[in-house]
Structure 1
Amino acid sequence: MHDHAPGVRGASNRRLLAISLALTATVMVVQVVGAVWTGSLALLADAAHMFTDSSALVIALVASIVAARPANERNTYGYQRAEVFGALANAVILIVLSVWIAVEGVQRLVGGGEVEVAGGLMLVVAVVGLVANGVSMYLLSAAQRHSINVRGAYLEVLGDLIGSAVVIVAAVVIWTTGWMPADALASLVIAAMILPRAVVLLREVFSVLGERAPRGTEVAAIREHILRKPGVTAVHDVHVWQLTRGAPVFTAHVVVERAVLADGRSAALLTSLQTCLAEHFDVEHSTFQFEPAGHVEHGDARHD
């Protein structure tokens, strides 16, 4: 007995995510060019930070699009796992970038930080990044209150806003005092911001691919809710995993009183269980197998 109700992301959310992605990606390119022109490692680090946000926005946008695509006979769960593999690639790239930026920053500091940086142009590019992130945050501010998908993208943009502010401070210091090590120090701060986020993303990918229960999901609490339903005597073979971020899947064998099946109350019980999981645990795809009390399974099935 199944409930196939994939999460629906509104078209307005997709439009906002697409606009924010366009802004972020454009500024990222501007920052890369600006880093080459100015010699600023901090700008390059902030471009890598922008890449983090661009990746997050792409993931959010892809999640929004694939959630609306129907499954087929070859891809029975649809294409949502594509997001996970994309996140894996992003995490690896970000870890490599942050380590390279950190090594380069340390080398510049050890060398006295005397790599010449054009502070004025660096400041202009950093301000452009700050403004773009501010606009993206404004666009996503309302939708993020109602969508966990958009909320994640909003927090990523917030992180990059802070990164742009760090670059602005370094640029002002260089422009006003000529102290070049400020650029290397700012790059190290930004690298320190990127690395933990990349590691967290990598851990999340491994958690999904390892089919672990989603963070915050209390299996014991779900089992307790099921056992409270009238007519339910036991529950076993409980499994919770997620196809991708925000797409949990639940299966369980539910032992019910024989009268529930004999009186035709199984449909009402199924609806009640599915509604319970959707409303209390945000599980939109749930599968239940009803078994009469006294039923004995054959084989080497393992129960919990």
Structure 2
Amino acid sequence: MSSHHHGQEHYGEPGHNNKRGLGIALIVTFGIMLLEFIGGLVTNSLALLSDSGHMLSDVSSLALSLLAITVAAKPPSLRKTFGYQRFEILAALFNAITLFVISGFIIVEAFKRFQQPQAVDSISMMAIAFVGMLANIISAVALLKQGDVQENINMRSAYLHVIGDALSSVGAIVAGVLMQFYSWYLVDPIVSMLVAVVISKGAWKVAKQALHILMEGVPLNMDASQIKSDLAAISGVSEVHELRVWSLTSGCNALSCHLVAEAAADGQNILMQATNTIREKFKIQQAAIQIETSDYQCMQKLI
């Protein structure tokens, strides 16, 4: 004989603040992109048009992150029994990949500049970089204040896009000053490569965590052996097996396991204690626990 318990379902509960923060960042970034595009057409500035194209990639990334939160809120169905929460993880992985691509492009262009240093219109460069920096600072503050960039991997990937651009703008301003007053044109590719390395480092952390979640890895802040030990310590439990611990999405963890009860043990009491341990100590929201007897185990082995 066996009994089951399923934890409370909390599908699709993305924070309203995350959507608000992304919305503010998206509006600001789109506005600056449009301003630079129109300014580039009016002034015939290739630099402005190029930067507006770069801002377009940020608009796309922020829009994807916002879409991911909206899609993740959809309730589960008989076809998608876990809902759509993993869409946020897929969006984060895609954003990390685009950051790698952008970093690679920057490094390739930097090597070309090393081989053939070019004179740069430092005044225009600093002006464009300053406008971009202000926009990215506003967006970064909005994401920090309104969103959860620490726990939510989707929000963090969007935040990294904004921070990467802000660093690029700061680097461009520093390089512009050095080129304007000292004609050190090699500083442009040097600063660009440093920024690319910083962006790649952040992108790798996001990609690594996203892949860990998609591969059903144990949440990084949890120890499966400790969970197993605590469950085995419950009075009346003789064995813990088939333990599975994973993340559905950022901040939403799940567990399933089989607990073998001693002959004279109260199965319902074991179930209650196990549920409390999982929820209170380990903060796991989704749980499926099966209580088995030793007789049931013997029957299973004979099958």
TM-score by length of 1: 0.77
Query: Following superposition of structure 1 onto structure 2, how do residues 181-200 of structure 1 map, counting pairs within 5 Å?
Result: 181-200=186-205
Identity across the alignment (%): 29
What is the CA–CA distance in structure 2 between the aligned matches of 1:29 and 1:188, rounded to whole Å? Answer: 27
What is the CA–CA distance in structure 2 between the aligned matches of 1:89 and 1:155, rounded to whole Å? Answer: 14
Greater Cα offset, 199-208 or 122-131: 199-208
Query: Aligned Cα RMSD in Å?
Result: 3.7
Which of 291, 297, 300 is matched with 1:298 structurally?
300
Superimposed CA distance per residue, residues 212-264 of structure 1 (whole angstroms, 9 cap, x where no aligned partner):
222232101211232333433321111122233333321111123445546x5
Query: Following superposition of structure 1 onto structure 2, how do residues 48-67 of structure 1 map, counting pairs within 5 Å?
Result: 51=57, 55=61, 57-58=62-63, 61-67=66-72
Shift in alpha-carbon separation, 1:192–1:120, aligned structure 2, 3 A: same
Q: CA deviation at 1:81?
A: 2.5
Does 2:172 correspond to 1:152? no
Shift in alpha-carbon separation, 1:92–1:258, aligned structure 2, 3 A: same
Superimposed CA distance per residue, residues 274-294 of structure 1 (whole angstroms, 9 cap, x where no aligned partner):
443344334222211111244
Q: CA deviation at 1:105?
A: 0.7
What is the CA–CA distance in structure 2 between the aligned matches of 1:213 and 1:198, rounded to whole Å? Answer: 21
Query: Following superposition of structure 1 onto structure 2, how do residues 24-103 of structure 1 map, counting pairs within 5 Å?
Result: 24-27=29-32, 37=45, 39=47, 47=54, 51=57, 55=61, 57-58=62-63, 61-103=66-108
SS in 1 for 2:83: coil
Match of 2:260 in 1: 255
Native 8 Å contact 1:38 1:118 kept in 2: no
Match of 2:140 in 1: 137
Shift in alpha-carbon separation, 1:20–1:143, aligned structure 2, 3 A: same
Q: CA deviation at 1:54?
A: 6.5
What is the CA–CA distance in structure 2 between the aligned matches of 1:275 and 1:17, rounded to whole Å? Answer: 36
Which of 221, 239, 242 is matched with 1:237 structurally?
242
Native 8 Å contact 1:39 1:118 kept in 2: no
Unaligned runs of 5+ in 1: none
Aligned length: 290
Shift in alpha-carbon separation, 1:141–1:94, aligned structure 2, 3 A: closer
What is the CA–CA distance in structure 1 between the aligned matches of 2:247 and 2:190, rounded to whole Å? Answer: 40
SS in 1 for 2:216: coil
Match of 1:280 in 2: 281
Shift in alpha-carbon separation, 1:146–1:123, aligned structure 2, 3 A: closer
What is the CA–CA distance in structure 2 between the aligned matches of 1:87 and 1:200, rounded to whole Å? Answer: 11
Native 8 Å contact 1:7 1:284 kept in 2: no
What is the CA–CA distance in structure 2 between the aligned matches of 1:236 and 1:29, rounded to whole Å? Answer: 58
